[in-house]
Amino acid sequence: MYDDTAVRWITLAQPPGARCPIRFDFTLDDMAQDSGAEQTTIVLHDLDTRQLSVRVTGFTWNHAALTRLVSEHGRTVNDHRVIDGYVRLGKLAKSANAANEAVSRMLHIVERVEQGTIGRRILDAVYRKPAPAAVLPTTNASQPTSPRPFPDTFRVNPQTMTLTTDQRASLELGLANHPIAEIQAAVGTGKTVLGAIIAGLLVQRKQGPLIVTATTNNAVAHFANTMLSIEEFRNVRLLRYLSEAAFLDESPSTPVNIHEILKSLPNDFGESLNEEQRELRSRYRRGRLIYEQYARNPDRAMQMLGSEIDEYILAEQDVPECVKKVVTIMFK
């Protein structure tokens, strides 16, 4: 929200019901507009009274601390637990973007890209202004990296797909070892399937691992499911990274979502793990299943008993402690 930089004294009321994470309601007076808050939290703006009613939600990691704070320093008003505090509204810069901040913190990764690699060539071509006298190295990029032919037909769910002339030309372009290759086509012409074929062939030619990105979570899920539907690539291992925010938004699921892969590891690879690794995987699986029971079910979360809240908080704390170690074991 943004309005001014004034510090306002407010009273926060806890809604009825034991909900985790904790929630608070408060009202701001003399608000001429909703201040854009509807994009980030739940608000109700009354134009007649110029009041802005806001509901904010804590996090699972600070739920216990906030609950203890309200218990020790709050009071009961009309059957609601309330607590007083200050809020300061500040206007964000128009150029502020959380994604830009995240990228700026990862610039050190660029320094690790070795010279002479395709990754370095892409970075230089896209982001670096070449010196006037610089001469880019010439490569025989018009030819595929491998003279081995590729098939004209593929089995897709479970029909047989025969490549058209345009698709075959695009496939040759995708396998030609260009630093950047652009393939344009109309909607419905098989771009996703062709992209999956290119990725699968590159992995089979030992040019992986590959990272596939898209503009939306739905597009990534569609690509992953397309890869899974191509019989020729049934032995290609896939892993779809899915953020917790996308998971809570109920983004389309795939069998290769990272959460599903990590939960199934004890069953799929239990024989190759030692006792400590199996216990770690089991801890992650138990905690993740408990978390998922409530994370996507707000109605059930509202009816949580005290013991269930404690179990949920422990699971939420246990999963982050395990996930990094579990992912490390997975990539081994």
Residue 2 lies in a domain: no
pLDDT at 91 > cutoff 80: no
Yes or no: say if 294 and 20 are a contact pair by the CB < 8 Å rule.
yes
Domain end call among 230, 252, 274: 252
pTM for the model stands at 0.59
Yes or no: say if 266 and 278 are a contact pair by the CB < 8 Å rule.
yes
114 DSSP assignment: P
pLDDT at 141 > cutoff 50: no
pLDDT at 97 > cutoff 70: no
Residue 293 lies in a domain: yes
More confident residue, 247 or 235: 235
Average pLDDT of the segment spanning 299-323: 77
Residue 162 lies in a domain: yes
Q: Which of 85, 84, 88 is nearest to 2 (CA)?
A: 88
**pLDDT classification of 74: cutoffs 50, 70, 90:** very high
- pLDDT, residue 41, reads 53
286 and 247 within one domain: no
List the single range of 41-50, 200-209, 317-326 with lowest mean pLDDT: 41-50
- pLDDT, residue 40, reads 44
Query: What is the strand order of the sheet 23-28 is part of?
Result: 42-46, 51-57, 23-28, 7-14, 80-88, 75-77
Residue 137 lies in a domain: no
Q: How far apart are the first and last CA of the chain?
A: 45
**pLDDT classification of 265: cutoffs 50, 70, 90:** confident
217 and 246 within one domain: yes
- pLDDT, residue 2, reads 45
- pLDDT, residue 145, reads 47
193 and 279 within one domain: no
Residue 20 lies in a domain: yes
pLDDT at 144 > cutoff 60: no
226 and 270 within one domain: no
- pLDDT, residue 47, reads 64
pLDDT in tens, 210-244: 899 988 889 999 999 999 999 999 889 899 988 87
Domain end call among 252, 272, 302: 252
- pLDDT, residue 45, reads 60
Residue 1 lies in a domain: no
192 and 238 within one domain: yes
- pLDDT, residue 106, reads 66
Average pLDDT of the segment spanning 207-212: 86
If one counts the domains in the chain, the total is: 4
Q: What residues make up the domain containing 281?
A: 257-332
Average pLDDT of the segment spanning 92-118: 67
- pLDDT, residue 209, reads 85
- pLDDT, residue 52, reads 82
pLDDT in tens, 169-193: 999 998 988 888 888 888 888 899 9
* Alpha carbons 315 and 191: distance in angstroms, whole number: 41
Torsion angles phi and psi, residue 138, rounded to 5 = -90, 140
**pLDDT classification of 261: cutoffs 50, 70, 90:** confident
292 and 276 within one domain: yes
**pLDDT classification of 3: cutoffs 50, 70, 90:** very low
Give whichever of 85-94, 114-123, 263-272 has the largest mean pLDDT: 114-123
pLDDT at 94 > cutoff 60: no
- pLDDT, residue 158, reads 80
* Alpha carbons 51 and 26: distance in angstroms, whole number: 10
* Alpha carbons 301 and 298: distance in angstroms, whole number: 5
302 and 267 within one domain: yes
The Cα-based distances of 261 to 67, 197, 268, 269 in angstroms read 34, 23, 9, 11
201 and 101 within one domain: no
155 and 245 within one domain: yes
241 and 191 within one domain: yes
- pLDDT, residue 15, reads 87
pLDDT at 115 > cutoff 80: yes
- pLDDT, residue 223, reads 94
Q: With H, G, I as helix, E, B as strand and everything else as coil, classify residue 159.
A: strand
Q: Which two tokens stand for residue 62?
A: 């600070």
Residue 243 lies in a domain: yes
* Alpha carbons 254 and 266: distance in angstroms, whole number: 19
224 and 188 within one domain: yes
233 and 263 within one domain: no
- pLDDT, residue 322, reads 80
pLDDT at 300 > cutoff 60: yes
Yes or no: say if 146 and 205 are a contact pair by the CB < 8 Å rule.
yes
Torsion angles phi and psi, residue 235, rounded to 5 = -95, 0
* Alpha carbons 175 and 198: distance in angstroms, whole number: 7
Residue 134 lies in a domain: no
More confident residue, 326 or 38: 326
Domain end call among 252, 286, 312: 252
